[in-house]
Structure 1
Amino acid sequence: MKPQEVLLTVLLCIGAIQGLIYGIILWRNKSQNSIAHKFLAAILFFFSYRLLVEILTLFNIGFYDFWYHFLIEYNWIYGALIYFFVKAYITPNFKLNLKKDWIHFLPVFIEFIWSNFIKSQNFYWDGTRESLSWLGYYGYITWMHYPTMYVVSGLLIIYYSFKAEKLLKVDNYETFEIITEHTLWIKRVLKVLRYFSILIIVIVLIDLIFFDYAFNQWYRYPLFIIMALITYWLGIEGFSKRNKSVIKLKTVLTSKEKQQLEALSKKIKHLMVEDEVFKNPDLTLSLLSEQLNVKPYLTTKCLNLIFNKKFNDFVNEFRIEEVKRLVNKPENNQYTLLALAYDSGFNSKASFNRAVKKLTGKSPSALKNN
Structure 2
Amino acid sequence: MEIVKILIILLLAIGSIQGLIYGLILFKSTSQNGLANRILAIILFLFSYRLTIQIMRLFGLGYYDTWYYLMIDISWIYGAILYFYIKAQTQHQFTFKKKDWIHFLPVGIQITCSVFVRLQNLYWDGTRESLSWLGYYGYVIWMNNSTIYIVASSLIILYAYKSHKLLNGLSTNFEIDPAKLNWIKRIITSFLIYFSIVLLVLLLDLIVFKLGGNGSYYYFTRFYYYPFFIGIAVLTYWIGLEGYSRRNDRELAIKTNSTPIDLAKLKDISDTLKEAMLNEKLYKDQELSLHSIAKHLGIKSYLISRSLKEIENKRFNDFVNEYRVNEVKELLKDPNNSRFTLLSIAMDAGFNSKSSFHRAVKKQLGILPSELNIKD
Q: Same fold (TM over 0.5)?
A: yes
Query: How far apart in 2 are the matches of 1:61 and 1:124?
Result: 26
Contact in 2 for aligned 1:118/1:139 (Cα 8 Å)? yes
Q: What are the superposed Cα offsets for residues 239-264 of structure 1, whole Å, 9 maximum, x if unpaired?
A: 0111113622234637963799xxxx
Match among 250, 258, 263 for residue 253 of structure 1: 258
Distance 1:150 1:71, change over 3 A: closer
| Partner Cα distance (1:222, 1:69) in 2 | 21
CA distance in 2, matches of 1:31, 1:259: 30
How far the C-alpha of 1:71 sits from its partner, in A, is 5.1
Unaligned runs of 5+ in 2: 211-216, 266-309, 311-376
Task: Describe the superposition over 1:96-154 as per-residue Cα deviations: whole angstroms up to 9, x where unpaired.
Answer: 11x20111011111112222222222222111122223322111111123321111111
Match of 2:247 among 231, 242, 246: 242
Describe the superposition over 1:259-301 as per-residue Cα deviations: whole angstroms up to 9, x where unpaired.
99xxxxxxxxxxxxxxxxxxxxxxxxxxxxxxxxxxxxxxxxx
CA drift at 1:166? 1.8
Question: For residue 189 of structure 1, what is the aligned residue in structure 2?
Answer: 187
Is 1:82–1:161's contact at 8 Å kept on the other side of the alignment? yes
How many residue pairs get aligned? The number is: 260
- Gapped regions of structure 1 (runs ≥ 5): 261-304, 306-370
Structure scoring higher RCO (CA < 8 A, sep ≥ 6) equals: 2
Q: Secondary structure at the match of 2:175?
A: strand
1:205 to 200, 203, 206: 203
Q: Is the 8 A contact 2:90 2:252 kept in 1?
A: yes
- Contact map agreement 1:208 1:214 (CA 8 A) in 2: no
- Over 3 Å counting, the alpha-carbon distance change for 1:69 and 1:217 in structure 2 is closer
8 Å contact from structure 1 (residues 170, 177) kept in 2: no
Separation in 1, partners of 2:69, 2:193: 31
Name the residue aligned to 1:18.
18
CA gap 1:60/1:34 in 2 versus in 1, 3 angstroms: same
TM-score (normalised: structure 1): 0.64
Superposition map of 1:1-370 within 5 A = 2-64=2-64, 72-97=72-97, 99-169=98-168, 173-174=172-173, 176-212=174-210, 213-215=217-219, 216=221, 218-245=223-250, 247-251=252-256, 253=258, 257=262
Change in Cα spacing, 1:139 to 1:101, as seen in structure 2 (3 Å) is same
User: d(CA) in 2 for partners of 1:138 and 1:46?
Assistant: 29
C-alpha deviation, 1:16, in angstroms: 0.8
Question: 1:68 Cα deviation (Å)?
Answer: 5.6
Paired residue type of 1:166: K
Tell me the C-alpha RMSD between the 2 structures: 2.7
Cα distance in 2 between the residues matched to 1:41 and 1:183: 19
Q: Percent sequence identity over matched residues?
A: 48
Letter in 2 for 1:247: L
SS in structure 1 opposite 2:253?
strand
> In the alignment, what sits opposite 1:295?
none
2: CA distance, partners of 1:211 / 1:113: 28
Q: Which has the larger radius of gyration?
A: 1
Segment drifting more, 249-258 vs 221-230:
249-258
